[in-house]
Structure 1
């Protein structure tokens, strides 16, 4: 059986091809409006590949907006940083599967940004970028959190007991102002802190999974003698 989604990455090397392409493009999360970024990047190989893959798999009944493809490229760059930090933290990232743009079964055509799957754990991971003021950021977070909660509840209702389904929303900021050719250091620092929070969240949940295994419990019994 297969899972209907844009991509299913069962190992890090499977996602590395896309990430290498982003690196070759020197991809940056830019401050410019999405519609302007589409004009700049719609002819690139990666943009075309992602868009064609989505259309080929018929993942939505709604027309795909080119702006969405740009956000996929942004979030892929963020996911790569998250996975690298998890690896450096000692997490067995080879046991993590990433499901990108997953249309939820019985979800009224709703799609999750990512599902991070580890053993009996599923993290519903949603991203949102804000490019305006703090009030808009709060509104964006609230909207994404409501969506994320809905996705988690649907999955939790459909899956067998024993699978832990949790959700997380990360709001990120643009890191580069292309028009002025300047890096936005304050936003970069903000994103790094948010990534660190997400890594700690995932690490905590994975540690809970690992310490719940029968083998770990038996080893623990030996340690208390």
Structure 2
């Protein structure tokens, strides 16, 4: 299922981005910075990592009242409606964990579909176990796409989709077996890629034309300007 921001949430999203981009000590909209913007957008009072150790759990932002969790991602991409893109969703060393995952030792010489089975199990365990430990019922991914000038953005917010083993076939991209592809049987689309050398597991997404796409008029302040603004606010308090 695809989700969309309300008018009020969109206003807050733009405010958050505009504020972050204005600060010259910040060089990009990613990681905790994006998580904080999403918390502001959703009016969630999250954990401040300045005073707390950041969790390695999947759901970077959790709405404890509604039991919604988001895996938060960002990517710089010259996007357009209905474009495709892919990004890392997990580090998956399935050769090392193969016996634990599918009770079978795996190597590059193994049946690609067995490797794919292990990858699906590895990902599903992360999605479900972290949801349980973090109190999440609605398991979602939120991806912020941004152009190179950080002035145009798109939001993809979906439920995390877990494929059944029977929905995909797996094949190596070349004879050297550098990358493994998960192909959806219904339409022949590549939905997963896995690279054994880096252990990186990618998922492929489509930015549907119905997604939230918007622009932000940005202003980059000088270091002196932002310092004076913040110190003035602190001193008033």
Range into which the TM-score falls when normalised by the shorter chain: under 0.3
Q: Which has the higher contact order (CA 8 A, sep 6+)?
A: 2
Provide the TM-score with structure 2 as the length reference.
0.26
Return the structure number with greater helix share. 1
Return the structure number with greater strand share. 2
